[in-house]
Amino acid sequence: MAAMTVKTLSEDEFFYGHKACAGCGGSLALRIALKVLGERSVAVLPAGCMSAVGFNFPQLCFGNNAIISTFAGTASMLTGIEAGLRARGITDFHAVGFAGDGGTADIGIQALSGAIDRNDDILYICYDNEAYMNTGIQKSSLTPFGAKTTTTPAGKNIRGNLRPKKNMFEIIAAHGIPYAATASVGYLDDYMRKVEKASKIKGTKYIHIIAPCPTGWGIATDETVEVAREVVDCGLWYLAEYENGTFILNHRPEQFEDVEHYLRRQNRFRHLTDEDVQWIRHCRDEKWRAIHENFKEKTER
């Protein structure tokens, strides 16, 4: 069957009229996933940007069934929804969660790990904007090295966040999950294919999508998609899948775009020294060495 494209994508809109900032990458990730999954999706959103902008009674912006969970409880509430519907004899639905980087890699990682361990039949999508944006741009464990946030200010003594970004994709894969993938809101064809593929797999599925936040990253509202492409093109993010115990690289840039250009266009990285940029380049190359060793290459586009 041919992969879903913009021409075959449902014209239904399920996430509409929300109050996300203009140019929000996270809302794009939600919108497209729901269009792929369709009206029989039951969405769980923890406390965070997407629930804050979509669920203010009486302005309710999800056209499908949707519920806010506790911050730590995205995966566990998905589990209950899936089990509850199945117990009631209903099987033709998608239980899908959308949590940010903090809700996934920090406070929600325990419940997520539990759900994967049980292999609950749910799809968990992490929209990663690399900090706690809803509360005003604080560092999470997915904030990259060097990024300035309100809790990792860039000053004379400390130049922003000193720790590297946690590798959630590979942490998830280490559970032996049936399907995991990375994606970017800059490459929606790839993302749509992955959401569609995940929707047809039984058991736990995880998709980690980079979703720039103009407010938190310090870019213009019209740069979201461009920057989301550039992070892939410069090699600081990669498009990959994990399936049947194998890592698959979907897209290998023939030549990396300039890391420095990607960094310097964002206010959160503007303070970095040339040495910092060189360090980030070095870490990227180390990561890609490991990718070449451990990932198979297969382009399905």
Partner 1 sequence: MVMHMKPCLREHIPSKLSELPEAPAYEAGYLVTKNAGWRSVRPVIDREKCVGCLQCYLYCPDGVIYRKDGKVAVDYDFCKGCGICRKICKLGAIKMEEER
Partner 2 sequence: MARKFLSGNEAFAEGIRLSKPQVISAYPITPQTIVVEKLSEMVENGSLKAEFIHVESEHSALSCAMGASAVGARAFTATSSQGLLYMAECLTYAAGGRFPIVMMNANRSTALPWNIYGDQRDSLSQLDCGWIQVYAKDAQEALDLALMSYYVAEHREVSTPFMVNLDGFVLTHTYETVDVPTEEQANRFLPAFESDHKLDLDHPCNLAFSAGPEHNSAFKYKEHVGILKAKGVVAQAEEKFAEIFGREYTGLTENYRIKDAEYVLVTLGSIFGLAKETVDRLRERGQKAGLIRIRYMRPFPAEEIAEAVRNAKAVAVLEKDISFGYEGTVYTNVNSALQKAGISLPTVNFIGGLGGKNISGEDIEEIFEELKEGYRGVKFMGIGGDGQWRR
Residues that bind partner 2 (CB under 8 A): 39-40, 42, 44, 51-52, 55-58, 60, 62-70, 72-73, 75-88, 90, 93, 110-111, 113-114, 117-118
131, with CB counted inside 10 A (0-12, 13-18, 19+), is: buried
The amino acid sitting at 153 is P
Tokens describing residue 194: 């992955």
Pick 63 or 218: Cβ nearer partner 2: 63
Any bridge partners for residue 59, and if so which? 56
- Tokens 């940007």 appear where? 49
Q: Which of 1, 2, 7, 255 binds partner 1 (CB under 8 A)?
A: 7
Any bridge partners for residue 181, and if so which? 207, 241
Residue 48, phi then psi, degrees to nearest 5: 160, -175
Is 24 in contact with 66 (CB distance < 8 Å)?
no
Q: What is the size of the binding site for partner 1 (CB under 8 A)?
A: 43
Compute CA distances 140 → 66, 103, 137, 247, 258, whole Å. Answer: 25, 9, 9, 26, 25
Residue 141, phi then psi, degrees to nearest 5: -75, 0
Pick 76 or 143: Cβ nearer partner 2: 76
Contact status: 65 vs partner 1 (CB under 8 A): yes
Q: Which of 110, 150, 221, 267 binds partner 1 (CB under 8 A)?
A: 221
**Of 113, 130, 292, 138, residue with least CA distance to 227:** 130
Contact status: 85 vs partner 1 (CB under 8 A): no
Contact status: 2 vs partner 1 (CB under 8 A): no
**Of 48, 47, 19, 23, residue with least CA distance to 215:** 23
Local structure of residue 144 (DSSP, 8 states): P
Minimum separation from the CB atom of position 149 to partner 1 (A): 22
Q: Which does 27 bind (CB under 5 to 8 A by kind): partner 2, partner 1, none?
A: partner 1
Q: Which does 20 bind (CB under 5 to 8 A by kind): partner 1, partner 2, none?
A: partner 1
Q: Which of 74, 184, 224, 250 binds partner 1 (CB under 8 A)?
A: 224
Minimum separation from the CB atom of position 133 to partner 1 (A): 14
Minimum separation from the CB atom of position 54 to partner 1 (A): 9
Contact status: 16 vs partner 1 (CB under 8 A): yes
Residues in contact with partner 1 by CB under 8 A are 6-7, 9-20, 22-25, 27-28, 31-32, 39, 57-66, 185, 188, 214, 220-226
